[in-house]
Structure formats: C-alpha cells, structure tokens
Amino acid sequence: MNKGEKEHIVCRFAPSPTGPLHVGGVRSALFNYLYARQNGGKLILRIEDTDIERSKKEYEDDIKESFAWLGLEFDETHKQSERLAIHKKYLAGLIDKGLAYVSREEGTEAGKRKEVIRFKNPNRTVAFDDLVKGHIEFDTTELGDFVIAKSTDEPLFHLAVVVDDFEMGITHVIRGEDHISNTPRQILIQDAIGAPRPIYAHIPLILAPDRSKLSKRKHGESVSLKYYRAQGYLPEALINYLALLGWNPGDDRELFSTEELIKEFSMERIQKGGAVFDIEKLNWMNKEYVTKLPKEVLSTYMLRAIDSVEQLSRLTDWKKERLIPVLADRIHYFGQVGELTHLGEFDYLTETPVYAKEALLWKKELDLTKTKTNIIALIALIEKLPKDATAEVAKAAIFPYAEEQGKGNVLWPLRMALSGKEKSIDPFSIVSVIGIPESVSRLNYALHLIE
C-alpha cells in the first residue's frame, strides 16, 4: 500500500448505546484505533442509536467516558439519530428506483406493523475477502426481502450503517465476527445505492471461560469496561491485555505501551479463533504496570484505594503513607486493597490482636525463656526509636539483635505480638504503621501473657 492510499484510511467504531461499553467493544475500538493511527488515517466514533426505545443517554456517556479514561481518542464523533434526514433520502431513492418497496404485512402481531420497507433481494451470491478470515461467500437467497426500515421515516440498522459508512468515507470496517452474517446484507445495500465496498476485517470474539460469547446477561458485570475501571485496573494494562487477546507481535514480547502497539500492530497477525478472557493473566499484567508506576502516581492510586476502605480510612495520614509500599506489592489491582482488608488480612493494623500465648513461641525451638528475654529486649529497643520510625529505621535497630540471638526466636514473637497472626507483613513494617507506643503496648501484653 503506498503512502497516498494510507492517508485515506478511515476507520470507525460504531457501538449502540443499549448497555455499558463491553470489553469486546473496547477491543474492536482498539484495533480500529491502532490501525488508523498506524496509517495516519482517521478514526470515527459513531453512536448507533437508531433504536430509540433501547438507546439510553447514560450508556452513550458511559461509552465516551470509558474511552476518555482509556486514553483512546477519536477524530470525529457522530450520533446516528442526528443523521436521519440523510438515511431517509437514501431510503426514498431506493424505493423510487424499485430497489426497495413498501410491504403490507398481514397477521399483525403485537409490536409489528402493517407496513414496513423491504429491500428487494436480487438473490445472488455475495463474496468478500476478509482481512482476517479470508474469502467468504454467501448465498443471499435465504435472506429473502429483508426489512431495512420500519417506515419511510424510520430506517433500520443495515440501511443506516451502509449509508453512514458511505457518507463518512469509511475505508475499513473492523468489527467483531458476530457481524459476519450481517455483511452480505450490507453489501447488497451498498451495491444498490452505488457505494464502494469497504475492506472488511472481522475479528474473533472474546469468549467467557465456557467458550461462549461474553454477554452481560450470562456472565454479569465483568463484561463491562467500567467494572475493571471500578476494580482499580490501570487503563494501559487493560489496553495491553486486550491487544494481546487475539493478536500477537510474532515474538515473545508481551508488554507494550499504546505507542508501541501502534507501531507493531498488524492485521495479518490477528488470530482467527476466539480467545478466552483470562482474568488471571490480566491481573498479572496489571501488576506489571503497577510495579512500574512512578512513586507519586502509585501513591495517589494507593491513597485513593485506602480511603475507599472504611477500616483503613480511619488511619492517620502518616500511617496510610507507610502502608503504601507494604500494600503495593501484595496487590494486582487497587480494588484488592479492599478485598484483602475485608478478608481480615490487615485487622492488626487497626485493632489490637488476640492470640493464644503458645503462638508466641517460634515453632522450631519453642523456648519460653528465650522468648521472654527477647520480648523484654525488644521493648527496650523499640522504646528508644523515634516516634515516626520508618520500617527501615526499625529494622536497623532490631535486626542486629535478632541476628545475634537467632532471628526466629526474636522476629517470630515480635511479629506475633504485633499481628497475632501466623501470616502477616513483616514486623518492621507493622511497627512503622501502628507506631512506637502501640508496638510497645502490644509487646508488654505479650510479656504479660507468658508470665
């Protein structure tokens, strides 16, 4: 393809605002975005709201907000309902030329009308070369004279799509493969109105673990982009993950910024079969991005996550600050802060721990005398720490003593006294979060327990 042609590439993403933006929709939009940007083409967002009954403003807003959040920008945005006059013009033209006709329907059921506009099917074979699926042929006879408008004033999906794609100069139609069966109908209409045929690329669907199409009805909220936004996933990670679902660069690389994706993307490397959405892999990838976040950005995200959890929001500001690095490497996405907290993972940060005194003894030695001596020594060491001691400062003060006396016999009782749990974050971090007086108080309680 030469440079002149590339400049004329026009892609579009055309969602209907009848529900929250679907992750599959995001991926379709992403592939359109990558292809358009890579080739210096134009990208159009077209809200397909010809069904006024089902279309909702809130969903239109959700679509726009979602893309803004993802950082995917469109060059133009249109609402199909505002283009009604144009659709009607083409409809009238079709009827005038005898290529469509007003059909009187009998046996009017509920919701059906006496008159609809039907396309006069030439009953021929339609073939097209799909960029990802290859050559596809259909015999359109079985489609019959399909309906293209409810009335001369109410054009339907197929007509509106074809007219808009034509009028907007769309060169490439990149969409989900659930549209393959719509393509022959649309090609028939194109030929009837004398529109050129765009290049089609039908991308495989994103599947649920049961390998069926991901649908809100069947699979719940987790099919919507906003779910992942609310769970605290990073937009760059979501884009990266979705791009790799059904596409690959041909080598082992997996982590790509959007800019790199624009550079690397190629239609030829899009997979032909559907791909299961694997939340585990998304989690892994999101963590990769969390880890690479600049300190200040991470801090902003973490503070927001901490404040959204009632139990943790009660902590003072400096305690929250101390908690950031500790929490950061135990989560895959920010919503996990709340999930872990609700599981009771961090109760000891806000409540005094309760435990049996036997738990204070390090299981490899079970030495009561040593444990007691060590707790007394620890109290002395911690009392001397500055009030705002960081985990590093606390470690520097305690570690030498622990190494001298045997780490297990010092650190295990310390951690148990502070957390009351078999599994917890390291004791120095706990000291830094709960503070010196509270730490000493908990150690005194431990001492009292074993006496």
Least distance CB 203 / RNA (angstroms): 10
Cβ proximity to RNA: between 317 and 354 the closer is: 354
Least distance CB 187 / RNA (angstroms): 13
Cβ proximity to RNA: between 53 and 317 the closer is: 53
Active-site annotation holder among 216, 263, 272, 364: 216
Least distance CB 48 / RNA (angstroms): 3
Cβ proximity to RNA: between 40 and 144 the closer is: 144
What is the three-state SS of the chain? CCHHHHCCCEEEECCCCCCCCEHHHHHHHHHHHHHHHHCCCEEEEEECCCCCCCCCHHHHHHHHHHHHHHCCCCCEEEEHHHHHHHHHHHHHHHHHCCCEEEEECCCCCCCCCCEEEEECCCCCEEEEEECCCEEEEEEHHHHCCCEEEEECCEECHHHHHHHHHHHCCCCEEEEEHHHHHHHHHHHHHHHHHCCCCCEEEEECCEECCCCCECCHHHHHHHHEHHHHHHCCCCHHHHHHHHHHCCECCCCCCCCCCHHHHHHHCCHHHECCCCEECCHHHHHHHHHHHHHHCCHHHHHHHHHHHHHCCHHHHCCCHHHHHHHHHHHHCCCCCCHHHHHHHHCCCCHHHHCCCCCCHHHHCCCCCCCHHHHHHHHHHHHHHHHCCCCCCCHHHHHHHHHHHHHHHCHHHHHHHHHHHHHCCCCCCCHHHHHHHHCHHHHHHHHHHHHHHHC
Least distance CB 116 / RNA (angstroms): 5
Least distance CB 90 / RNA (angstroms): 15
Is 421 annotated in a binding site? The answer is no
Cβ proximity to RNA: between 66 and 283 the closer is: 283
Residue 423 known to be catalytic: no
Cβ proximity to RNA: between 96 and 106 the closer is: 106
Q: Specify binding-site residues for ATP.
A: 216
- Positions marked catalytic: 216
Q: Specify binding-site residues.
A: 216
